[in-house]
Structure 1
Protein backbone atom coordinates (compact mmCIF):
# COMPACT_ATOMS: atom_id res chain seq x y z
CA UNK A 1 0.00 0.00 0.00
CA UNK A 2 1.48 3.39 -0.96
CA UNK A 3 2.83 5.14 2.10
CA UNK A 4 1.31 8.51 1.24
CA UNK A 5 -2.30 7.27 1.13
CA UNK A 6 -4.41 8.79 3.90
CA UNK A 7 -7.29 6.90 5.49
CA UNK A 8 -10.27 7.89 7.63
CA UNK A 9 -12.52 5.37 9.40
CA UNK A 10 -16.11 6.57 9.74
CA UNK A 11 -17.82 5.14 12.83
CA UNK A 12 -21.55 5.96 13.11
CA UNK A 13 -22.39 6.05 16.80
CA UNK A 14 -25.58 6.03 18.86
CA UNK A 15 -25.04 5.21 22.55
CA UNK A 16 -21.94 3.05 22.14
CA UNK A 17 -20.04 4.10 25.27
CA UNK A 18 -19.42 0.46 26.22
CA UNK A 19 -17.91 -0.49 22.86
CA UNK A 20 -15.99 2.65 21.91
CA UNK A 21 -12.73 1.97 23.82
CA UNK A 22 -12.31 -1.45 22.18
CA UNK A 23 -13.19 -0.14 18.73
CA UNK A 24 -10.94 2.92 18.84
CA UNK A 25 -7.97 0.95 20.17
CA UNK A 26 -8.15 -1.21 17.07
CA UNK A 27 -8.15 1.59 14.48
CA UNK A 28 -4.77 1.27 12.70
CA UNK A 29 -2.04 3.69 13.74
CA UNK A 30 -1.85 6.76 11.54
CA UNK A 31 -5.48 6.56 10.48
CA UNK A 32 -8.09 9.04 11.67
CA UNK A 33 -11.17 7.76 13.49
CA UNK A 34 -14.23 9.88 12.70
CA UNK A 35 -16.95 9.11 15.24
CA UNK A 36 -20.31 10.49 14.11
CA UNK A 37 -22.48 11.01 17.15
CA UNK A 38 -26.10 10.52 16.11
CA UNK A 39 -27.78 11.73 19.29
CA UNK A 40 -26.12 9.69 22.03
CA UNK A 41 -27.14 10.28 25.63
CA UNK A 42 -24.57 8.00 27.30
CA UNK A 43 -21.48 10.19 26.90
CA UNK A 44 -20.26 8.46 23.73
CA UNK A 45 -19.05 11.70 22.15
CA UNK A 46 -17.02 12.68 25.19
CA UNK A 47 -15.46 9.21 25.44
CA UNK A 48 -14.55 9.22 21.74
CA UNK A 49 -12.98 12.67 21.97
CA UNK A 50 -10.98 11.68 25.06
CA UNK A 51 -9.65 8.66 23.19
CA UNK A 52 -8.37 10.83 20.34
CA UNK A 53 -11.15 10.47 17.78
CA UNK A 54 -12.54 13.30 15.69
CA UNK A 55 -16.18 13.72 16.71
CA UNK A 56 -18.82 14.92 14.27
CA UNK A 57 -22.36 15.57 15.47
CA UNK A 58 -25.25 14.61 13.20
CA UNK A 59 -28.59 15.54 14.79
CA UNK A 60 -30.70 13.95 12.06
CA UNK A 61 -31.31 10.36 13.17
CA UNK A 62 -30.54 7.56 10.75
CA UNK A 63 -27.68 5.23 9.89
CA UNK A 64 -27.28 6.81 6.47
CA UNK A 65 -27.34 10.32 7.91
CA UNK A 66 -24.49 9.42 10.27
CA UNK A 67 -22.44 7.64 7.61
CA UNK A 68 -22.81 10.47 5.12
CA UNK A 69 -21.94 13.11 7.69
CA UNK A 70 -18.72 11.20 8.31
CA UNK A 71 -18.00 10.98 4.60
CA UNK A 72 -18.51 14.72 4.21
CA UNK A 73 -16.22 15.38 7.18
CA UNK A 74 -13.47 13.16 5.80
CA UNK A 75 -10.42 14.63 4.11
CA UNK A 76 -8.60 11.34 3.39
CA UNK A 77 -7.87 9.60 0.11
CA UNK A 78 -9.70 6.45 1.20
CA UNK A 79 -12.68 6.21 3.53
CA UNK A 80 -13.59 3.11 5.50
CA UNK A 81 -16.87 2.49 7.28
CA UNK A 82 -17.28 0.26 10.29
CA UNK A 83 -19.92 -0.29 12.96
CA UNK A 84 -19.09 1.15 16.34
CA UNK A 85 -20.57 -1.64 18.49
CA UNK A 86 -17.52 -3.97 18.72
CA UNK A 87 -19.08 -6.52 16.36
CA UNK A 88 -16.46 -5.79 13.69
CA UNK A 89 -12.74 -5.25 14.12
CA UNK A 90 -11.39 -2.13 12.36
CA UNK A 91 -7.95 -3.69 12.69
CA UNK A 92 -8.89 -5.81 9.66
CA UNK A 93 -9.32 -2.80 7.38
CA UNK A 94 -5.72 -2.44 6.11
CA UNK A 95 -6.30 -5.34 3.73
CA UNK A 96 -9.38 -3.60 2.33
CA UNK A 97 -7.49 -0.34 1.90
CA UNK A 98 -4.57 -2.07 0.22
CA UNK A 99 -6.83 -3.52 -2.46
CA UNK A 100 -8.37 -0.12 -3.19
CA UNK A 101 -5.06 1.76 -3.07
CA UNK A 102 -3.37 -0.73 -5.38
CA UNK A 103 -6.14 -0.34 -7.95
CA UNK A 104 -7.33 -3.93 -7.78
CA UNK A 105 -10.91 -2.97 -6.95
CA UNK A 106 -13.06 0.08 -6.25
CA UNK A 107 -15.23 -1.03 -3.32
CA UNK A 108 -14.39 -3.73 -0.80
CA UNK A 109 -17.16 -5.09 1.43
CA UNK A 110 -16.79 -7.21 4.53
CA UNK A 111 -18.73 -10.48 4.37
CA UNK A 112 -19.70 -11.17 7.96
CA UNK A 113 -18.89 -14.60 9.36
CA UNK A 114 -20.51 -15.00 12.79
CA UNK A 115 -18.33 -15.98 15.72
CA UNK A 116 -20.03 -17.10 18.92
CA UNK A 117 -23.67 -17.44 19.96
CA UNK A 118 -25.84 -14.43 19.32
CA UNK A 119 -23.42 -12.80 16.89
CA UNK A 120 -25.97 -12.74 14.08
CA UNK A 121 -29.59 -13.51 15.04
CA UNK A 122 -31.63 -15.63 12.62
CA UNK A 123 -34.02 -12.81 11.71
CA UNK A 124 -31.18 -10.44 10.85
CA UNK A 125 -29.45 -13.10 8.75
CA UNK A 126 -32.69 -13.88 6.90
CA UNK A 127 -33.25 -10.22 6.09
CA UNK A 128 -29.70 -9.85 4.83
CA UNK A 129 -30.07 -12.92 2.59
CA UNK A 130 -33.28 -11.60 1.09
CA UNK A 131 -31.61 -8.31 0.25
CA UNK A 132 -28.55 -10.01 -1.22
CA UNK A 133 -30.78 -12.01 -3.56
CA UNK A 134 -32.68 -8.89 -4.63
CA UNK A 135 -29.40 -7.08 -5.17
CA UNK A 136 -28.16 -9.93 -7.34
CA UNK A 137 -31.22 -9.64 -9.56
CA UNK A 138 -30.85 -5.86 -9.76
CA UNK A 139 -27.11 -5.64 -10.42
CA UNK A 140 -25.74 -9.09 -11.23
CA UNK A 141 -23.34 -8.86 -8.30
CA UNK A 142 -23.00 -12.22 -6.56
CA UNK A 143 -22.61 -10.82 -3.08
CA UNK A 144 -23.55 -12.65 0.10
CA UNK A 145 -23.71 -9.75 2.53
CA UNK A 146 -24.49 -6.05 2.69
CA UNK A 147 -22.52 -5.49 5.86
CA UNK A 148 -21.35 -2.11 7.10
CA UNK A 149 -17.58 -2.73 6.91
CA UNK A 150 -16.25 -1.36 3.63
CA UNK A 151 -13.61 0.81 1.95
CA UNK A 152 -13.48 3.02 -1.16
CA UNK A 153 -11.92 6.23 -2.42
CA UNK A 154 -13.51 9.33 -0.91
CA UNK A 155 -13.90 11.37 -4.11
CA UNK A 156 -15.47 8.44 -5.92
CA UNK A 157 -17.93 7.92 -3.06
CA UNK A 158 -18.92 11.58 -3.16
CA UNK A 159 -19.50 11.32 -6.89
CA UNK A 160 -22.14 8.63 -6.27
CA UNK A 161 -24.38 11.41 -4.85
CA UNK A 162 -25.90 9.12 -2.22
CA UNK A 163 -29.26 10.33 -0.95
CA UNK A 164 -30.58 7.67 1.44
CA UNK A 165 -30.25 8.71 5.06
CA UNK A 166 -31.80 5.66 6.70
CA UNK A 167 -30.79 2.01 6.71
CA UNK A 168 -30.81 1.86 2.91
CA UNK A 169 -27.53 3.78 2.71
CA UNK A 170 -25.19 0.74 2.51
CA UNK A 171 -27.30 -0.84 -0.23
CA UNK A 172 -27.59 2.39 -2.19
CA UNK A 173 -23.82 2.68 -2.14
CA UNK A 174 -23.46 -0.75 -3.74
CA UNK A 175 -26.24 -0.21 -6.29
CA UNK A 176 -24.91 3.14 -7.45
CA UNK A 177 -21.34 1.88 -7.46
CA UNK A 178 -22.34 -0.98 -9.74
CA UNK A 179 -24.36 1.35 -11.99
CA UNK A 180 -21.24 3.52 -12.27
CA UNK A 181 -19.18 0.54 -13.39
CA UNK A 182 -17.23 0.01 -10.18
CA UNK A 183 -15.46 -3.24 -9.41
CA UNK A 184 -16.97 -4.57 -6.18
CA UNK A 185 -15.66 -7.48 -4.12
CA UNK A 186 -16.23 -8.94 -0.65
CA UNK A 187 -13.83 -10.39 1.90
CA UNK A 188 -14.64 -12.55 4.90
CA UNK A 189 -14.52 -10.85 8.30
CA UNK A 190 -15.35 -12.28 11.76
CA UNK A 191 -18.65 -11.01 13.13
CA UNK A 192 -18.71 -10.86 16.92
CA UNK A 193 -21.59 -10.47 19.37
CA UNK A 194 -22.16 -6.75 19.62
CA UNK A 195 -21.90 -4.72 22.80
CA UNK A 196 -25.35 -3.50 23.86
CA UNK A 197 -28.61 -3.74 21.92
CA UNK A 198 -28.90 -3.28 18.18
CA UNK A 199 -30.76 -0.16 17.07
CA UNK A 200 -31.70 -1.64 13.68
CA UNK A 201 -31.81 -5.44 13.59
CA UNK A 202 -32.28 -6.34 17.23
CA UNK A 203 -35.88 -7.47 16.59
CA UNK A 204 -37.89 -8.95 13.73
CA UNK A 205 -39.74 -5.65 13.40
CA UNK A 206 -36.50 -3.68 13.18
CA UNK A 207 -35.04 -6.12 10.68
CA UNK A 208 -37.97 -5.99 8.32
CA UNK A 209 -38.19 -2.22 8.56
CA UNK A 210 -34.56 -2.19 7.43
CA UNK A 211 -35.43 -4.59 4.60
CA UNK A 212 -38.25 -2.27 3.49
CA UNK A 213 -35.93 0.73 3.61
CA UNK A 214 -33.33 -1.08 1.55
CA UNK A 215 -35.69 -2.71 -0.94
CA UNK A 216 -36.88 0.74 -2.04
CA UNK A 217 -33.31 1.52 -3.01
CA UNK A 218 -33.29 -1.30 -5.57
CA UNK A 219 -35.59 0.76 -7.80
CA UNK A 220 -33.18 3.69 -7.52
CA UNK A 221 -31.82 5.23 -10.70
CA UNK A 222 -28.31 6.65 -10.93
CA UNK A 223 -28.52 10.26 -9.83
CA UNK A 224 -26.73 13.42 -10.76
CA UNK A 225 -26.45 16.28 -8.38
CA UNK A 226 -24.69 17.89 -5.52
CA UNK A 227 -22.78 15.95 -2.94
Structure 2
Protein backbone atom coordinates (compact mmCIF):
# COMPACT_ATOMS: atom_id res chain seq x y z
CA UNK A 1 0.00 0.00 0.00
CA UNK A 2 1.51 3.28 -1.12
CA UNK A 3 0.28 6.40 0.63
CA UNK A 4 0.40 9.56 -1.48
CA UNK A 5 0.48 13.07 -0.01
CA UNK A 6 -2.39 15.48 -0.60
CA UNK A 7 -0.30 18.62 -1.00
CA UNK A 8 3.31 19.29 -2.02
CA UNK A 9 5.00 22.48 -0.82
CA UNK A 10 8.17 23.92 -2.35
CA UNK A 11 10.45 26.50 -0.74
CA UNK A 12 14.04 27.55 -1.23
CA UNK A 13 16.64 26.11 1.12
CA UNK A 14 18.53 29.40 1.42
CA UNK A 15 16.62 30.86 4.39
CA UNK A 16 14.84 33.47 2.22
CA UNK A 17 11.33 32.07 2.65
CA UNK A 18 9.35 31.99 5.90
CA UNK A 19 8.24 28.37 6.53
CA UNK A 20 5.91 29.61 9.28
CA UNK A 21 3.71 30.97 6.47
CA UNK A 22 3.12 27.43 5.20
CA UNK A 23 -0.33 27.24 6.79
CA UNK A 24 -1.35 30.44 4.93
CA UNK A 25 0.03 28.97 1.71
CA UNK A 26 -1.97 25.75 1.86
CA UNK A 27 -5.17 27.32 3.22
CA UNK A 28 -6.69 28.02 -0.26
CA UNK A 29 -6.06 24.40 -1.26
CA UNK A 30 -7.69 23.01 1.86
CA UNK A 31 -10.60 25.44 2.26
CA UNK A 32 -11.33 26.60 -1.30
CA UNK A 33 -10.25 23.56 -3.35
CA UNK A 34 -7.69 25.68 -5.25
CA UNK A 35 -5.19 23.52 -7.17
CA UNK A 36 -2.07 25.71 -6.97
CA UNK A 37 -0.89 28.55 -4.73
CA UNK A 38 2.06 30.89 -5.27
CA UNK A 39 3.64 32.71 -2.37
CA UNK A 40 4.05 36.09 -4.07
CA UNK A 41 7.11 38.00 -2.87
CA UNK A 42 5.24 41.27 -2.46
CA UNK A 43 7.60 44.28 -2.65
CA UNK A 44 6.13 45.69 0.58
CA UNK A 45 6.92 42.46 2.44
CA UNK A 46 10.38 41.87 0.93
CA UNK A 47 13.48 42.64 2.94
CA UNK A 48 15.64 45.31 1.24
CA UNK A 49 18.16 43.61 -1.05
CA UNK A 50 16.46 40.20 -0.95
CA UNK A 51 15.91 40.30 -4.72
CA UNK A 52 18.55 41.66 -7.08
CA UNK A 53 17.46 44.25 -9.67
CA UNK A 54 17.88 41.62 -12.41
CA UNK A 55 15.68 39.17 -10.45
CA UNK A 56 12.97 41.80 -9.99
CA UNK A 57 13.11 42.77 -13.68
CA UNK A 58 13.15 39.14 -14.89
CA UNK A 59 10.23 38.33 -12.64
CA UNK A 60 8.28 41.32 -13.94
CA UNK A 61 9.07 40.44 -17.57
CA UNK A 62 8.09 36.77 -17.18
CA UNK A 63 4.79 37.54 -15.44
CA UNK A 64 4.06 40.33 -17.96
CA UNK A 65 4.57 37.90 -20.87
CA UNK A 66 2.32 35.34 -19.15
CA UNK A 67 -0.37 38.04 -18.86
CA UNK A 68 -0.01 38.93 -22.56
CA UNK A 69 0.06 35.36 -23.93
CA UNK A 70 -2.11 33.49 -21.41
CA UNK A 71 -4.16 36.17 -19.61
CA UNK A 72 -2.46 35.01 -16.42
CA UNK A 73 -2.91 36.77 -13.11
CA UNK A 74 0.55 35.91 -11.72
CA UNK A 75 2.73 38.67 -10.28
CA UNK A 76 5.63 36.42 -9.23
CA UNK A 77 7.58 33.26 -10.06
CA UNK A 78 8.00 32.78 -6.32
CA UNK A 79 9.70 29.55 -5.24
CA UNK A 80 7.46 29.23 -2.12
CA UNK A 81 4.44 27.45 -3.56
CA UNK A 82 1.97 24.65 -2.91
CA UNK A 83 0.10 22.33 -5.24
CA UNK A 84 -2.23 19.37 -4.90
CA UNK A 85 -0.12 16.24 -5.33
CA UNK A 86 -2.34 14.74 -8.04
CA UNK A 87 -2.19 18.03 -9.98
CA UNK A 88 1.61 18.10 -9.75
CA UNK A 89 1.76 14.57 -11.20
CA UNK A 90 -0.64 15.67 -13.95
CA UNK A 91 1.75 18.51 -14.94
CA UNK A 92 4.50 16.06 -15.99
CA UNK A 93 7.27 18.45 -14.97
CA UNK A 94 10.46 18.33 -17.05
CA UNK A 95 12.81 21.17 -16.08
CA UNK A 96 15.35 20.33 -13.39
CA UNK A 97 17.12 23.70 -13.32
CA UNK A 98 16.27 27.39 -13.68
CA UNK A 99 12.97 27.03 -15.50
CA UNK A 100 10.97 24.83 -13.14
CA UNK A 101 8.98 27.66 -11.54
CA UNK A 102 7.79 29.13 -14.83
CA UNK A 103 7.23 25.66 -16.33
CA UNK A 104 4.92 24.78 -13.44
CA UNK A 105 2.98 28.03 -13.78
CA UNK A 106 2.64 27.70 -17.56
CA UNK A 107 1.41 24.12 -17.28
CA UNK A 108 -1.10 25.16 -14.60
CA UNK A 109 -2.39 27.78 -17.06
CA UNK A 110 -2.43 25.42 -20.05
CA UNK A 111 -4.29 22.74 -18.10
CA UNK A 112 -6.73 25.34 -16.75
CA UNK A 113 -6.08 24.50 -13.11
CA UNK A 114 -7.28 26.92 -10.45
CA UNK A 115 -4.66 29.10 -8.82
CA UNK A 116 -4.22 32.04 -6.48
CA UNK A 117 -1.35 34.07 -5.09
CA UNK A 118 -0.94 35.03 -1.48
CA UNK A 119 1.53 37.70 -0.38
CA UNK A 120 4.51 36.29 1.53
CA UNK A 121 7.47 37.80 3.30
CA UNK A 122 10.94 37.30 1.78
CA UNK A 123 14.34 37.94 3.36
CA UNK A 124 17.95 38.05 2.30
CA UNK A 125 19.31 34.60 1.56
CA UNK A 126 22.24 32.92 3.24
CA UNK A 127 25.22 32.64 0.88
CA UNK A 128 25.50 33.65 -2.77
CA UNK A 129 23.06 32.42 -5.38
CA UNK A 130 24.46 30.35 -8.24
CA UNK A 131 21.64 31.85 -10.33
CA UNK A 132 21.06 35.51 -9.45
CA UNK A 133 24.53 35.93 -7.91
CA UNK A 134 26.39 35.40 -11.18
CA UNK A 135 26.12 36.91 -14.66
CA UNK A 136 26.15 33.43 -16.23
CA UNK A 137 23.43 32.16 -13.88
CA UNK A 138 21.27 35.22 -14.46
CA UNK A 139 21.58 34.90 -18.25
CA UNK A 140 20.93 31.14 -18.22
CA UNK A 141 17.87 31.55 -16.00
CA UNK A 142 16.54 34.38 -18.17
CA UNK A 143 17.00 32.39 -21.36
CA UNK A 144 15.37 29.30 -19.84
CA UNK A 145 12.39 31.23 -18.43
CA UNK A 146 11.70 33.22 -21.62
CA UNK A 147 12.22 30.01 -23.63
CA UNK A 148 9.50 28.19 -21.65
CA UNK A 149 7.08 31.07 -22.13
CA UNK A 150 7.58 31.23 -25.91
CA UNK A 151 7.50 27.42 -26.18
CA UNK A 152 4.02 27.43 -24.62
CA UNK A 153 2.83 30.61 -26.31
CA UNK A 154 3.38 29.19 -29.78
CA UNK A 155 2.63 25.52 -29.12
- Relative to the length of structure 1, the TM-score reads 0.61
> 132, 137, 154: which one pairs with 1:206?
137
Match of 2:91 in 1: 160
Match of 2:71 in 1: 140
Match of 1:95 in 2: 24
Q: Which structure has greater helix proportion?
A: 2
> 78, 100, 105: which one pairs with 2:7?
78
2:59 corresponds to 1:128: yes
Provide the C-alpha distance between the structure 1 equivalents of 2:122 and 2:42, rounded to a whole number of angstroms: 5
RCO (CA 8 Å, sep 6+): is it higher in 1 or 2? 2
Provide the C-alpha distance between the structure 1 equivalents of 2:49 and 2:4, rounded to a whole number of angstroms: 36
Deviation of 1:173 (Å): 0.6
Q: How many residue pairs were aligned? A: 148
Secondary structure of the residue aligned to 1:110 is strand
Structure possessing the higher radius of gyration over alpha carbons: 1
Provide the C-alpha distance between the structure 2 equivalents of 1:149 and 1:214, rounded to a whole number of angstroms: 17
Unaligned runs of 5+ in 1: 1-73, 222-227
Match of 2:41 in 1: 112
2:81 corresponds to 1:150: yes
CA contact (8 A) 1:123 1:204 kept: no
Secondary structure of the residue aligned to 2:69 is helix
| RMSD (CA atoms) | 1.7
Provide the C-alpha distance between the structure 1 equivalents of 2:96 and 2:68, rounded to a whole number of angstroms: 23
- Relative to the length of structure 2, the TM-score reads 0.87
Secondary structure of the residue aligned to 1:182 is coil
